[in-house]
Structure 1
């Protein structure tokens, strides 16, 4: 029993990274099917390429066809999926004042104290807000350093990061789904947009939690920041 639990735990990180592109691909394919599914001929009416596709399905069997469709959906979703972290980075670059949206209040306080500590160690004055912004931009690099420094902390951060990607992607790609359903069946489906908005906000909440793990790793000295303060000083990690 313990062996099975350990094996399941080891598979979970991989599953988290597969589910987002698969769900994105499924959502997009379902929307295309709703719009153009009527144009696909039945087996008895199929000609040319479609007839050959049906024949291939008969030759390899339903399990093989199902596996192929699942793989195709995964590839489609992998090409279309959005990165919550990249989206947050664009927000930070476009409007630095929005950086507080990427951190919880406690994490932002830790960030401020950490940047203050860098200034004290540098022994010279530098722009505190610029340093705080630089630290946030360094988060992706710090995340990768956690793999070598503390794999358990990285796994916890990766869990939040994956949840952020999953929720934000579903939120974004479900918007056209509600519009299509409303156009084809009933305007009442537009109320589903509120679900997409809630998922979007929950995705950013998960991203804040992921960033909070990174900030705590910096503050506790698990990893070291490579951000240079003004004046060429190199900040060291907290003891």
Structure 2
């Protein structure tokens, strides 16, 4: 039962953590403007009354749901962040893979040479294969659910860490502004989280690469004999 619940929990924790971080920062900046119960008037007073009527459990559940919705709107995708980096600096594309996975990708793309002919471009084929990773990931659901679960675990870890890193930077700046500049040292912790997030993303991509090499799932680029890469000059 716990095993079946874990994938769902992984997908909930990132937006909830982002929402909680953002709400906490907003409270530190603007919490002094919120009147206490005895001073509340108008809409704020009605909110206090509704809270008393509903009770703490329902109020807590409502706040948690609101934090989740807020975080779901603000969360970042580690893959999208990596994609933007790749657009800005295409030479950094191989950073999405470990050395072993990149070597396997190179050998896998090399096997397309016999199909593609003399006009084959190895780097273009490798780029097309990396672009296909999200599609390959979804095909794993039908081909091998256990492998997909392992890949999804790394992918969720990447999103979680990258989002905590991104939104904790502003937290350290606010704490440094309101209390002590020493809090700026927390940015180093955010940087470590950011790097760990990309390590998890590389691990997730490594699972995809292994599934291609082992034949668990087939690449459309490979199946088309290298013709698809030429559509992405």
- TM-score, normalization: structure 1? 0.92
- Give structure 2 stretches of 5+ with no counterpart: none
Counterpart selection for 2:65 from 71, 83, 88:
71
CA distance in 2, matches of 1:207, 1:150: 20
Per-residue CA deviations over 1:77-125 (Å, capped at 9, x if unaligned) read: 0000000011112222332211111000000000000000111344544
Q: Does 2:11 correspond to 1:38?
A: no
CA distance in 1, matches of 2:36, 2:169: 30
- Give structure 1 stretches of 5+ with no counterpart: 1-6, 235-239
Q: Do 1:21 and 1:74's aligned partners in 2 also have CA atoms closer than 8 Å?
A: yes
Per-residue CA deviations over 1:15-59 (Å, capped at 9, x if unaligned) read: 000000000000000000000000000000000000000000000
CA distance in 2, matches of 1:232, 1:49: 59
Q: Do 1:182 and 1:188's aligned partners in 2 also have CA atoms closer than 8 Å?
A: yes
Q: CA, structure 1 residues 100+46, in 2 after alignment: closer, same or farther (shift >3 Å)?
A: same
Q: Does 2:3 correspond to 1:9?
A: yes
User: Which residue of the partner structure matches residue 210 of structure 1?
Assistant: 204
User: Which residue of the partner structure matches residue 144 of structure 1?
Assistant: 138
CA distance in 1, matches of 2:53, 2:189: 42
Deviates more, 1:84-93 or 1:161-170: 84-93
Q: Do 2:15 and 2:68's aligned partners in 1 also have CA atoms closer than 8 Å?
A: yes
User: Which residue of the partner structure matches residue 99 of structure 1?
Assistant: 93
Q: CA RMSD in A?
A: 1.5
User: Which residue of the partner structure matches residue 43 of structure 2?
Assistant: 49
SS at match of 1:178: helix
CA distance in 1, matches of 2:68, 2:80: 20
User: Which residue of the partner structure matches residue 165 of structure 1?
Assistant: 159
- May I ask how many residue pairs the two structures share in their alignment? 228
Q: Do 1:174 and 1:196's aligned partners in 2 also have CA atoms closer than 8 Å?
A: yes
Q: CA, structure 1 residues 64+231, in 2 after alignment: closer, same or farther (shift >3 Å)?
A: closer
User: Which residue of the partner structure matches residue 213 of structure 2?
Assistant: 219
Runs of 4+ in 1 over 3 A off after TM superposition: 121-125, 228-234
Q: Which has the higher contact order (CA 8 A, sep 6+)?
A: 2
SS at match of 1:159: helix
Per-residue CA deviations over 1:178-202 (Å, capped at 9, x if unaligned) read: 0000000000000000000000000
